[in-house]
Homo-oligomer: A and B are copies of this chain.
Amino acid sequence: MGYLLGVDLGGTKIEVGVVSREGVLGQRLRVPTPRGQGTAAVVDHIRAAMGEVLRRAEVAWGALDGVGVGAPGPLDRQAGVILEAPNLPELNGFPLAAALAEGGVPLYLENDANAAALGEYRFGAGRGSADLVYVTVSTGIGGGIILGGRLYRGVSGTAGEVGHTVVEVEGPPCACGSRGCLETLASGTAIARQAAAALAAGRESVLAAEGLDAAAVYRAAGAGDVLAREITERAGYYLGVGISNLINLLNPERVILGGGVVQAGRDLFDPVERAVRERALKVPAAACRILPAGLGQDAGVLGAAAVVLEQAG
């Protein structure tokens, strides 16, 4: 006993790792996600990766406290079913947990943003803090809420949709059907879209229209490009307004920022902090630290492993 197996199931890659209860990541393996080949292929790839990692680590199935699987999209944890995976539609409604279970070892399925929140709480920038909000900014904006040292899931398991809180009532239309959601103003997609629009309008920049993404904008901002800095600054300010709403509503001890956005460094954290100074109430703002995520590349696997600790104690 004493080992955790973390599985991070993404649209492009599957990552599996053996993790100690203290959060030390041992053997790990990354394989591409077999897309469009049916559910059996996904299940086979995950099972093979799990077996291989355990073999390399010389850990038997029986020595595992449990397996945690972080997966995108809304899911039914109790039933172990992914309800809607935009990047892996073949898994919609598929009983994944049952298909992956092995030798009586408990297996827990969890939304990936919630898993990452648990990972930061147990092993990362959230250690020692019972009330925190994890916000991940990549293509979209997701989140997970830890209250009183437990993941707060809400009545139907969808809590934490920070990206779909409105901060500009008549802002850009959002894929969710609303307008002015934080995701339309501060996500990687929003940043790339704003940069493309500015280039199309003839703005000068080192940015090239081809292959334009948020990472390119962050790099250009870091190199002093005026347009890239302006876009990063504005996205950071909006993100800070959304975080101010979290601070006023939940009075958390920490807000942890993860995802691709962390690459932008001070160019993004500075305007986030300015917005919080200008927008959040003094008492809860003073009580809250805003920190970059601590687990970096390992967030997926460590978060999935942390799900086991939360579920199995």
Is A167's CB under 8 angstroms from B167's CB? Answer: yes
Chain B CB within 8 A of A33 CB: no
Is A169's CB under 8 angstroms from B241's CB? Answer: yes
Chain B CB within 8 A of A224 CB: no
A214 to chain B, nearest CB (A): 20
Please report which residues of chain A, range 152-170, place their CB below 8 angstroms from some CB of chain B when the two chains form the complex. Answer: 152-162, 164-170
Chain B CB within 8 A of A39 CB: no
Copies in the complex: 2
Is A279's CB under 8 angstroms from B166's CB? Answer: yes
Chain B CB within 8 A of A196 CB: no
Q: Which residue of B lies closest to A133 (CB)?
A: B249
Chain B CB within 8 A of A283 CB: yes
Residues of chain B within 8 A (CB-CB) of A286 are 156
A114 to chain B, nearest CB (A): 12
Interface centre among A145, A164, A245, A249 (most CB of B within 10 A): A249
Chain B CB within 8 A of A223 CB: no
A301 to chain B, nearest CB (A): 26
A161 to B287, CA, bound (A): 15
- Tell me which of A98-106, A120-128, A250-258, A263-271 binds B: A250-258
Residues of chain B within 8 A (CB-CB) of A65 are none
Is B284's CB under 8 angstroms from A249's CB? Answer: no
Residues of chain B within 8 A (CB-CB) of A168 are 167-170
A211 to chain B, nearest CB (A): 31
A163 to chain B, nearest CB (A): 9
Is A249's CB under 8 angstroms from B160's CB? Answer: yes
Chain B CB within 8 A of A244 CB: yes
Interface centre among A158, A162, A248, A287 (most CB of B within 10 A): A248
B154, B166, B177: which contacts A167 (Cβ < 8 A)?
A: B166
